[in-house]
Structure 1
Amino acid sequence: MRRLWVAVFLAYLAFGGTLQLLPATLSTRFHSDAAFIGLTVGIAFAATALCRPIAGWAGDAGAGRRIVIMGAALTLAGTLGQGLAATEWQLLVSRVVMGAGEAGVFSGALPWVWRQVPPHKRGSASGLFGLSMWSGLAIGPLVASIAVLGGQHVAWLALAALSLGSLAVATATTASGRVRLPRFTLEALWVRGMAAPSVMFGLTAYGYGTLSAVLVLYLDSGPGGSSLGLPVFAVAFLLVRVTGSRLVDRAGGRVVAAASLIVEAVGFAVIIAAGTAAGVLVGVALVGAGCSLAFPAAVGMAIARSPHHAAGSSVAGMTSFWDLGILTAGVGAGILAEALDFRSAFVAALAAALLALIVAVSMPSHP
C-alpha cells in the first residue's frame, strides 16, 4: 500500500499548501477581509465533512480504488480553480471541489488499509497510515512557503503538480477488492456508538482550524515569524505522531485523548499569554503535539464502540466532525479576529480544547 500512502500524501500536500497561500492570495488579489479569509479556508472542510461518510461507506464495500481516483481528480480540479480564480466566489467554489476530493482520497483509502491488519491494531494502523494525510497537511504550508518565493503563480502551479502526481499514483494502484455496494440509505452513514468520539474529535479540531485561519495573520500583525508558524506546528505534530501512534493500542484511546487535549489546551494558553514570536511558536508547537494523537485515539474509541462491518463508515463519519470543527473555527476565528482581536480567537480555541477534554474523560467505554 505504499502507492496508496503516496497518493494520499501528495493530495494533502497540495491541500496543506493552500492553507499557507490562501490568506496572502485573498489579501493581494481580492483585498478580502479576515472574516472572508476564514470562510474561504473553512468552506473546503464543509465539503469534506459532507462527502467523507459516503466515501467511507463505499470503502467498506470495496470501492476504495474508484473513490481515491475520483478524489484525486477533484483535488486537481480544485487546485487549478483556486490558482486561476478571477473572483472571490470562483475561488470559494474551487475550495468546495477540493474539499470533496480530499474526502474521497483519504476516507476511501482507510477501509482498504484496514483489510490488511487485525481489528485490535486498527488504532495504531490508522495513526501510521494517517500520517499520509496529516503530514501532507503539516508539510504543505512549508512547501508553499518555499514555492511562493518564485511568486504566487509559481506556488499555485507547484500545488497543481502535486495534485496531478496524486492522481497519477492513485491510478497506478491495484484494485481494492471485489465491490459489493449495498443499497444506500442515510442511516448507513451514522453508525451506532460514534456520537461521543465524534463530538470530542470535532472540538479538538477547532484548535487546528483556528491556527489554520488566523495564525499567519496574527504573526504578521505584530509578533513576527509568520513563515514559521505552520511549519513549527507541522514538526511537533509529525514527531509526536511517528513516535506515539502505538500508545493507543497500549494505553487505550481515552487515556491518549485526555493527555493530548491537556497539551493542546496548555499550548493555547501559552499563545494567549505570549508577547513575542518565540513564545507564540512554543505555544504552537504544544498545540501541534496535542493535536497529533487525537486521530488515532478517536479511531480507537470509535472502532471499539461500532459494529465491525461498518468501521470505515464509523471513522469516516467521525472524521467529518474534524472537518466541521475546522470549518466552524475558520469562520468563528475570522469573525472574532475582525470584531475583537486575534487573542479572542485563541481563547475560544482554548475553551473548545477544555470542553473536548470533559467529553473524553466522561465517555463510557461502550455506547
Structure 2
Amino acid sequence: METSMNYHGKSGRLTELFLGDLAAERFSPEEYLPSEQKLAEHYQASRNTIRRIIGNLLDDGTLTRCDNHRVRINPEKYHELKAARAVPRQITLAFAYAAYPDAMISDVLAGLKRYTAEHDLRLQQLTSPTGHEPMLRALAHAGSLGIDGVLVLPYFMEEYVNVINRLADSGVAVATLSELPGTHCSSICSDDYSGAFAAVNRLIGKYNRPVHFFGPRGEASSTLDRYNAYCRAMTEAGFDREIKTHTSEIQAYGKDPESWTLEDKQERTAELAEAFLKKLKPPASIFCINDYMAQGIYRAAKRLRLEIGRDLTVTGFDDLPMARRLTPPLTSVRSPQGEVGYQAAALLHRLVAGELNIPVHLRVPMEVIERASC
C-alpha cells in the first residue's frame, strides 16, 4: 500500500503518527475508532484537524465507515498497513546556515552528527557562505528535498521570518538557533544572558569599578541578551548611571555573510578598538560581546602600548580556540555549542515524531573560563 500520502499543512505529521498508531494496534482493528473529540484530546489537536485526517483516510480506503456511521480500520487494508509500517522511513534532519564555517558552526554540527548517528537518522546541510538568497531558496524547498526537520541559523530579516513560518506551516519541523521574533517555531541556544551576567558581575566584583561594553548590541536575541545582562549587572552594582558612558556600540561587519571574512573580523575590529581605547583612562575593565571583539582590543592595545591584564582587564564571549592562544590567554564565556547541536537534534526528533505540539525555547547553561586577561 502506498503510504507517502499527499497530506498538506500541519496535519501531515499527525497523519503519519496516526498511521503508525493504527499499524501498532494502539486502536484495535476489531473495534470502532474513538470519537473525534477523544482523538483530538489524545493527539492534542483540534477536531477540525482530526476530521480532515479521518476524511483523507476514508478517501484512500485506510479507514471505512460502517452502517452505523462509526469508523474503523478497513480489514482489507490493515495487513498492508502493518507491512508498510514494518520498516519505517529513515528520518532526515538538516542544518541550514548562511555563513562561513567557523568554530561555532563546527561544534553545533558535531553535536547534530552525534545525535543523528546514535538514533539512526540522516543529516544534511543547507549552506551558503556568500549570501542569504541561496539559503532562503533552499529552505523554501526543504520539504520537497525529503527533509523532515531543519535547524536554522536565523537572522533578523523579514525574509527569514516568512520562509520559516511557511516551512513550519507546511509540516516540516523547524527549530532556530536563538529565538527569532515573528516566527512560531521552537528554538534552542546557549544561555547568553546568564553567561554574560556572570562575566560582567565577576569583573565588577574583582576590581570594584564600572565595566566598559565593547561591540554591537545588535538585533539577534543572543547579542541583545548579552547587552541586557551587562546592563543588569551594572545596575545591580550601582553603576546604572555609567551604562550610557561606558557603552561603545560598534558594528565591525555587515549583515551579509560575504562581508564576514576573517580579515574584517580582525583588522576592522582592531581599528575600531584603537579609537575606543584612546578615549579610556587605564586601568579599565572591558566586556566584549564576542572573542573577535576581544581580539581587536588585544591588537589595538599592543599598538597603543597598553598591557592586557594590567592596564586593561578583558573578558570575551564564546571561548573560541583563539581565546587560549592569545597573549595573555583571554578570559571568556564558554558556549557549549556541541551540546546545543545535540539537544537541537533531540528537539527536532521529538517535533518530527509529533511529541510536541507547541513551540518550546530551550537554553543550555554557559561557563566563565578564567584566564590571565583579567
Question: Normalising by structure 2, what TM-score?
Answer: 0.26
Higher relative contact order (CA 8 A, sep 6+): 1
**Which structure dedicates a bigger proportion of its chain to helix?**
1
Using the size of structure 1 for normalisation, the TM-score is 0.26
